[in-house]
Amino acid sequence: MTPIAADPDRRVWSLSTPNTTYAMHVAPDGRLVQLYWGARLSVDEVVPLTQQRTTASGSSFHLPGDVEEQLPVDGGTRWGVPSLQVTFPGGVRSAELEFAGDTVEAEENGHRLDLAFTDGHFPLHVVLHYRVREDSDVVERWVTLKHLGAEGEEPFVIGRADSGSWLAPERADYRYSAVTGAWAAETQLVREHMPFGEFTLANRCGNTGHHANPWLMLDDGTATEEHGEVWGVALAWSGTWRITAQRRFEGRLAVTAGFGHDGVTWQLRPAEELTTPPTLGVYTDGGFGAASRAWHRHARAYVLPHPEAVRPVLYNSWEAVWFDVNEQSQLEIARKAADLGVELFVMDDGWFGKRTNDRAGLGDWWPNPDRFPNGLGPLADGVRKLGMAFGLWVEPEMVNPDSDLYRAHPDWTIHFPHRRRDELRQQLVLNFGRDDVRAWAHGWLDRLVADHGIDFLKWDMNRAISQGGWPERAGDQDRLWIEHTRGVYEVIDRLRSTHPRLRIESCSGGGGRVDYGILARTDEVWTSDNTDAYHRQSIQHGYSQLYPAAAMAAWVTDSPNPITGRTVPLEYRFHVAMSGVLGIGGNLHEWSSEELAQAREWIAAYKRIRVAIQHGDQYRLGAEPGRGLSAVEYVHGDDVVVFVYHPHATVSPAPGHLRLVGLDPDASYQEVALTTGERGHTATGRVLMAAGLPVRRRVAGGDWSSAAVRLQRIR
């Protein structure tokens, strides 16, 4: 059965995913509305809904129908949040779109529906695209705008081009889940009552952002981690963006998502097309946990470039030595890392140009001759001889004014004439919208990777974009906000296609650039510069709402933590970092032999269970991380891994049992000691889910008690 069914007479299209249906309808008044989004229905069940549409009646002051539209325009009798805003020649606004046809197409990995519209007067062509996959509940949508006028005709000014608006079905109440945060405090989960009016999450910084992430989930206020209906909307874009939910008094709620921030305009010239990034939507009746698992599965199946690859354990000396890198000291620490079982050695900032601190050198991407007198070859070879892959930190979009690059090309930075170029971290941003800048960046990155067989790049972006001008594009400078991000994507894509073995980590002062756009071209994300295991628990909890553990890099670093000063036992630090892609980032010269031995054991143990962590289904259990006992469980085939955390001893005892989720009730699971492989206690899935896994003896201690439990299905 095709996942896209249509009733052309009634102008209904119904998209089916394994568990859900998403349906649209061109209403008699010509508006394209969302007919249904929820549990799976057949097209025959969906079509009669066209007769039952109960748009609350309006008045001469408002017509409440625009919230149900798939792409409400700025125009006609609409006063809601427009998803599409166009100014036509002569300053004419108020687009009038008319349905112009549909196309259904089978693609290699899914099915696609295009619904086309044209303006009744001006040559504007608008196509709403939809894609569904046979094994994912995520619906993908995006929009293409095209100016069909002849050369020489005036451009259309696009003030807003969202990828789509999603209608949450009528419920008695609404609540939203989202993340907020800051540098070193990313992805803090917020779950609040949805107010009436307009609620906007946005980013104007030019990366994805630390203070919000482009997604929003909705429920009626009763969903829990494993129960209840949840609707989720995300945007796959790494530049500025806006997601606005509007909750109406008449009982409707819509979420429109798109790239660019308010005020940014795009001049659409004759024959030019503007394609928006995808917005993704998911529905589940299995609670927030099921929503996250649907996102994770989708990311693994259709977003990440190499989801099947097992992520290596890496070492990075940033927190150990900061900018103080050189051939000899890096090799010394590499030996220690290799001895622990590390598989990938990454040299961070400080290896190039005059970059001995953050005041100079960005842009001069050749090895610092004082630190690497023979180039990077000896270090790269040395690392490989130790049996590890070799990676490097780069920050291609940035330049320090104190650099040869800036002295030669001051015009390459993002700037306006007659305006200051404000520095942050003593750096400016190169305009990746420019062809010459992209050619330069691709050129040196390509040589660097080729010359040293670089296996891994940590691609950083350490400041927000300000004074976003592009003087050569006077009159249309705002396209910088879109073209810069597209330019970054293009350089990464080119680099990956010439170097298919290359793996890339996305970083922007920690987790400032994580979204489904960058994840389509990077393998993991540096989740946060904050490596304090306690803070990391809430950061990782928020991260996991949308993004899978396979893309969540987590290091074990020194204690007291260099950023927060908190002292946390090594075992707890390992248990937190092992719940994602494990890395080591401490100063190994200062670790005692017992600590090194413990680390070796934990790294070996991680390698035995990482497939379940990186590729399995993830369940969040227990209390909010950091408060009381919390846990993360992964289920992958016969393998189950559970990390239990109890950071603070409390007056009352820790819970005795932790009820697991997602097991086969009739199967038997046996505990296998993580480090020794010793086999232990057996219980059925039913018992582990109904009565629970006994945990008190494992986390009965004082502060910072944690446990890692491995279970295997034996029959």
What is the rounded CA–CA span in Å between residue 36 and residue 493? 36
Residues touching ligand GLA: how many (CB under 6 A)?
A: 11
Out of 140, 483, 529, 532, the only residue in the binding site for ligand GLA (CB under 6 A) is 529
Please state, as a whole number, how many other Cβ atoms lie within 10 Å of the Cβ of residue 358: 16
Distance of CA 93 to the CA centre of its chain: 35
509 binding ligand GLA? (CB under 6 A): yes
What is the rounded CA–CA span in Å between residue 143 and residue 237? 14
Least spacing, CB of residue 526 vs ligand GLA, in Å? 6
Burial readout 443-481 (b: 16 or more C-beta within 10 A, e: otherwise): ebbeebbeebebbbbbbbbbbbbbebbbeebeeebbbbb
CB-wise, 34 or 466, nearer to ligand GLA? 466
Least spacing, CB of residue 509 vs ligand GLA, in Å? 5
What is the rounded CA–CA span in Å between residue 354 and residue 576? 36
**DSSP-assigned beta bridge partners for residue 335:** none
What is the rounded CA–CA span in Å between residue 556 and residue 131? 40
CB-wise, 515 or 529, nearer to ligand GLA? 529
CB-wise, 140 or 348, nearer to ligand GLA? 348
CB-wise, 455 or 460, nearer to ligand GLA? 460
Least spacing, CB of residue 230 vs ligand GLA, in Å? 31
What is the rounded CA–CA span in Å between residue 527 and residue 510? 6
CB-wise, 63 or 563, nearer to ligand GLA? 563
What is the rounded CA–CA span in Å between residue 492 and residue 499? 10
- Integer-rounded Cα Rg, in Å, for the chain is 26
Residues 202-241 touching ligand GLA, rule: CB under 6 A, are none
In this structure, which amino acid lies at residue 654? A
Active-site residue among 66, 102, 460, 639? 460
CB-wise, 510 or 517, nearer to ligand GLA? 510
- Residue nearest to ligand GLA as judged by C-beta position: 349
Q: How far is CA 16 from CA 6, 140, 278, 283, in A?
A: 11, 12, 18, 11
Least spacing, CB of residue 499 vs ligand GLA, in Å? 21
Active-site residue among 364, 523, 529, 617? 529
Least spacing, CB of residue 525 vs ligand GLA, in Å? 11
Binding string to ligand GLA for residues 455 to 474, with x set by CB under 6 A, is what?
-----x-x------------
Q: Which residue has the tokens 């000899």?
A: 328
Out of 278, 433, 510, 685, the only residue in the binding site for ligand GLA (CB under 6 A) is 510
361 binding ligand GLA? (CB under 6 A): no
CB-wise, 6 or 379, nearer to ligand GLA? 379
Q: Is the dihedral of CA 59, 62, 64, 68 positive or negative?
A: positive
List Cβ neighbours of 539 (8 Å cut-off, separation of 6 or more).
181, 185, 186, 187, 188, 511, 527, 528, 530
Please identify, among the stretches 8-16, 246-254, 371-379, 504-512, the one whose residues bind ligand GLA according to the rule CB under 6 A: 504-512
Please identify, among the stretches 1-9, 41-49, 505-513, 651-659, the one whose residues bind ligand GLA according to the rule CB under 6 A: 505-513
Residues 558-587 touching ligand GLA, rule: CB under 6 A, are none
Question: Pairing mode, if any, of strands 617-622 and 428-429?
Answer: unpaired
Out of 526, 634, 645, 669, the only residue in the binding site for ligand GLA (CB under 6 A) is 526
CB-wise, 524 or 633, nearer to ligand GLA? 524
CB-wise, 260 or 510, nearer to ligand GLA? 510
Q: What angle do CA 331, 336, 337 make, to 5 degrees?
A: 90
CB-wise, 241 or 352, nearer to ligand GLA? 352
Least spacing, CB of residue 367 vs ligand GLA, in Å? 17
Least spacing, CB of residue 508 vs ligand GLA, in Å? 7
Binding string to ligand GLA for residues 321 to 360, with x set by CB under 6 A, is what?
---------------------------xx-----------
**DSSP-assigned beta bridge partners for residue 282:** 138, 232
Question: Pairing mode, if any, of strands 398-399 and 428-429?
Answer: antiparallel
| Strand segments (E) across 61-174 | 84-87, 97-107, 110-119, 124-133, 136-147, 156-168
DSSP states of 435-466: HHHHHHHHHHHHHHHHHHT--EEEE---S---
What is the rounded CA–CA span in Å between residue 162 and residue 256? 7
339 token code pair = 């001895």
Please identify, among the stretches 206-214, 304-312, 440-448, 503-511, the one whose residues bind ligand GLA according to the rule CB under 6 A: 503-511
Please identify, among the stretches 239-247, 288-296, 507-515, 586-594, the one whose residues bind ligand GLA according to the rule CB under 6 A: 507-515
Least spacing, CB of residue 425 vs ligand GLA, in Å? 8
Please tell me whether residue 383 adopts helix, strand or coil conformation: helix
CB-wise, 523 or 529, nearer to ligand GLA? 529
CB-wise, 526 or 547, nearer to ligand GLA? 526
Binding string to ligand GLA for residues 74 to 93, with x set by CB under 6 A, is what?
--------------------
In degrees and rounded to multiples of 5, residue 599 shows phi and psi of -60, -40
Is 422 marked active-site?
Answer: no
Least spacing, CB of residue 348 vs ligand GLA, in Å? 5
Least spacing, CB of residue 316 vs ligand GLA, in Å? 8
Of 188, 203, 191, 233, the residue nearest 215 (C-alpha): 233
What is the rounded CA–CA span in Å between residue 235 and residue 161? 13
318 binding ligand GLA? (CB under 6 A): yes
* Residue 560 preceded by cis peptide, ω within 30: yes
Residues 383-402 touching ligand GLA, rule: CB under 6 A, are 393
Least spacing, CB of residue 179 vs ligand GLA, in Å? 18
CB-wise, 372 or 634, nearer to ligand GLA? 372
For helices 480-498 and 435-452, angle between their N-to-C axes, nearest 10 degrees:
30
Out of 334, 507, 654, 708, the only residue in the binding site for ligand GLA (CB under 6 A) is 507
In degrees and rounded to multiples of 5, residue 367 shows phi and psi of -60, 135
Confirm if 352 and 358 have CB atoms less than 8 A apart. Answer: no
Is 460 marked active-site?
Answer: yes
| Strand segments (E) across 478-595 | 503-506, 524-526, 552-556, 581-584
Please identify, among the stretches 4-12, 372-380, 502-510, 573-581, the one whose residues bind ligand GLA according to the rule CB under 6 A: 502-510
Question: Pairing mode, if any, of strands 456-459 and 428-429?
Answer: unpaired
For helices 570-577 and 593-615, angle between their N-to-C axes, nearest 10 degrees:
20
Largest pairwise CA distance in the chain: 78
Least spacing, CB of residue 555 vs ligand GLA, in Å? 9
Least spacing, CB of residue 184 vs ligand GLA, in Å? 9
181 binding ligand GLA? (CB under 6 A): no
Residues 639-668 touching ligand GLA, rule: CB under 6 A, are none
Confirm if 477 and 465 have CB atoms less than 8 A apart. Answer: no
219 token code pair = 């429920």
> Given the rule CB under 6 A, which residues bind ligand GLA?
318, 348-349, 393, 460, 462, 507, 509-510, 526, 529
Positions annotated as catalytic residues are 460, 529
